[in-house]
């Protein structure tokens, strides 16, 4: 087991290097650079920058140097000093911007993930064991609706209804009076009163999809001879279903835990933008739009690390839970 993990860890190093290079290149692929984006934004808001000034800024930021040089400076800073560089847009160290927002992002994402599972697993199991029943059909319809409605639209609708019927403060995670306040019980309660909207929005889409997977897996398992055998032994339905088929059917959940981790950080970008959440998603989106490459690169690097760790985790979990994998 230890050898397996060590082997996997070693492999993640070249993977990371390749991902890092690829992201840096991809961020720079669109025409123009940060300065072009900056000027465009200034023009839109009424300021003029002449060509010489633009060239000067470009030089100041080192954007006139070859890409590999920029890359080496950036990655060198991270490896040697843990310095993720300066966000060109915010004129602040990247690390200062990222870590600030990661806490709230993690909280929302973990809650949504748990909620997703809490919805999908029981309903999936129910639908499979009562196939073609009224509730199975109902859940199927709801599931397809959930899958079909884009999250951002649902967010907008919820916001609108909250405003219209409950005159409810929507958008953001805190009421304005708590935004800059230090943590307190009142602030936490305020947070909870806002938190359910993003959690609900983020979990519905995912739950609808997982629910179908769970149902399909269960149907397959329920038809297998060992289930018949279990029934024949006189076990109750609840005991049969939850002890064996569910465990097997959960397999895809475990193997996708790895993908859940990076999703935790990037969150659902568009939903976060619409709901005005102070999470990492909107920041990542902006940095990509503005070609703020050190900030975007820093984000993507962290996401990649999380993906690699996540995949490793799910592999280990699979080895532990599934005897077929363990023994092969």
Partner 1 sequence: MKSVTLTSIAALTLPFLAANGWAYNEAPMLKQLVEAGQLPPVEERLPKNPRVIPVYDSIGTYGGVMKRAFKGPSDRWGPTKLMEERVVETYMDGEKNLSLVPGWIGEYSVSEDAREFTFKIREGLRWSDGAPVTTRDVRFWYEDVFLNEDLMPSIKALYTSNGVPMKLSFADDYTFAVSFEKPYPLFLTVLAKESTGRPGLDRPGFIEPFHYLKDYHPTHADPTKLDAAIAKYGAKKWTDLWDSKGQIQAWWFNPDMPVLTAWRVKTPPPSDTVVMERNPYYYGVDAEGNQLPYIDQIEHRLFQDPEAINFMAIQGEIDLQNRHINVADFTLLKENEAKGDYTIEKWTKALTWSIIPNLNSADKVKQALFEDIRFREALNISVDRETINELAFSGLGESRQASPISGSPFYDEEAETRWTEYDPDKAAELLDAIGLTERDDDGFRLMSDGRRLSLVLETRWDIQGELLEVVRTYWQDVGIEVLVRIIDRTLYQQHVDTADFDMVLDTFDRSSVITADPLRFLGRYGFAPSYFNWWSTNGKSGEEPPKDHPIRDVWKAWENAQTAHSLEEANAYAQEMVTLHKQYGWHVGLVGETPAVYVRKNSLKNFPAGFVHDDALRGVGLAYPQQLYFSQD
Query: What angle (nearest 5°) sits at the alpha carbon of residue 51, between those of residues 91 and 49?
Result: 55
326 binds partner 1 (CB under 8 A): no
Contact status: 170 vs partner 1 (CB under 8 A):
yes
If binding is defined by CB under 8 A, does position 266 make contact with partner 1? no
d(CA 328, CA 317): 15
Query: Could you give the CA distance from residue 173 to residue 278 in angstroms, rounded to a whole number?
Result: 7
Strands (E) across 51-183 are located at 86-87, 92-93
Q: Could you say whether residue 166 binds partner 1 (CB under 8 A)?
A: no
Closest distance of CB 291 from partner 1, Å: 7
Closest approach of partner 1 to the CB of residue 52, in Å? 4
Site for partner 1 contains 213 (CB under 8 A): no
Query: Any long-range contacts for 315-319 (C-beta under 8 Å, 24+ apart)?
Result: 315/8, 315/258, 316/5, 317/254, 317/257, 318/251, 318/254, 318/255, 319/1, 319/4
Contact positions with partner 1 (CB under 8 A) in 79-108:
83, 86, 89-93, 96-97, 100
Distance CA 242, CA 245 (A): 7
Q: 214: burial class by Cβ within 10 Å (0-12, 13-18, 19+)?
A: buried
How near is the Cβ of 244 to partner 1 at its closest, in Å?
47
| Shortest distance (Å) from residue 276 CB to partner 1 | 4
> Judged by CB under 8 A, which stretch of 183-191, 223-231, 251-259, 277-285 contacts partner 1?
277-285
List Cβ neighbours of 98 (8 Å cut-off, separation of 6 or more): 84, 280, 283, 295, 298, 299, 302
Residue 64 makes contact with partner 1 by CB under 8 A: no
Place of tokens 């690169």: 297
State the nearest-atom distance from the C-beta of 157 to partner 1, in Å. 11
Residue 235 in the binding site for partner 1 (CB under 8 A):
no
- The encoded tokens of residue 97 equal 């911007």
Judged by beta carbon, residue 18 or residue 43, the one nearer partner 1 is 43
Q: CB-wise, 245 or 297, nearer to partner 1?
A: 297
The least CB distance from residue 202 to partner 1, in Å, is 16
Pick the stretch among 6-14, 34-42, 122-130, 216-224 that binds partner 1 (CB under 8 A): 34-42
* 157 lies in the site for partner 1, by CB under 8 A: no
By CB under 8 A, how many residues form the interface with partner 1? 57
Minimum CB separation from partner 1 for residue 287, in Å? Answer: 10
């Amino acid at each position: 087991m230890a050898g397996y993990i060590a082997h996997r860890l070693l492999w993640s190093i070249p993977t990371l290097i390749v991902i890092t290079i690829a992201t840096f290149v991809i961020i720079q692929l669109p025409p123009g650079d940060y300065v072009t984006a900056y000027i465009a934004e200034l023009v839109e808001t009424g300021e003029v920058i002449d060509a010489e000034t633009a060239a000067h800024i470009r030089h100041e930021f080192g954007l006139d140097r070859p890409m590999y040089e920029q890359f080496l400076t950036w990655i060198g800073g991270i490896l040697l000093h843990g310095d993720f560089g300066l966000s060109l847009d915010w004129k602040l160290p990247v690390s200062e911007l990222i870590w600030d927002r990661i806490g709230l992002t993690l909280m929302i994402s973990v809650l949504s993930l748990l909620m997703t599972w809490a919805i999908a697993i029981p309903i999936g199991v129910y639908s499979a064991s009562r196939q073609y029943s009224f509730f199975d059909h109902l859940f199927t319809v709801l599931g397809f609706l959930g899958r079909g409605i884009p999250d951002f639209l649902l967010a907008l609708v919820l916001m609108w209804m909250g405003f219209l019927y409950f005159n409810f403060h929507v958008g953001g995670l805190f009421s304005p009076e708590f935004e800059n306040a230090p943590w307190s019980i009142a602030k936490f309660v305020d947070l909870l009163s806002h938190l359910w909207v993003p959690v609900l929005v983020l979990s519905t889409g995912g739950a609808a999809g997982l629910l179908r997977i769970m149902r399909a897996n269960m149907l397959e398992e329920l038809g297998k001879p060992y289930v018949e055998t279990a029934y024949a032994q006189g076990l109750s339905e609840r005991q049969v279903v939850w002890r064996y088929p569910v465990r097997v059917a959960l397999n895809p959940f475990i193997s996708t835990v790895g993908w859940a981790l990076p999703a935790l950080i990037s969150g659902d970008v568009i939903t976060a933008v619409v709901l005005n959440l102070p999470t990492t998603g909107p920041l990542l989106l902006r940095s990509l739009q503005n070609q703020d490459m050190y900030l975007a690169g820093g984000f993507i690097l962290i996401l990649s690390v999380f993906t690699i760790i996540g995949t490793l985790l799910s592999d280990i979990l699979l080895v532990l839970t599934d005897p077929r994998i363990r023994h092969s």
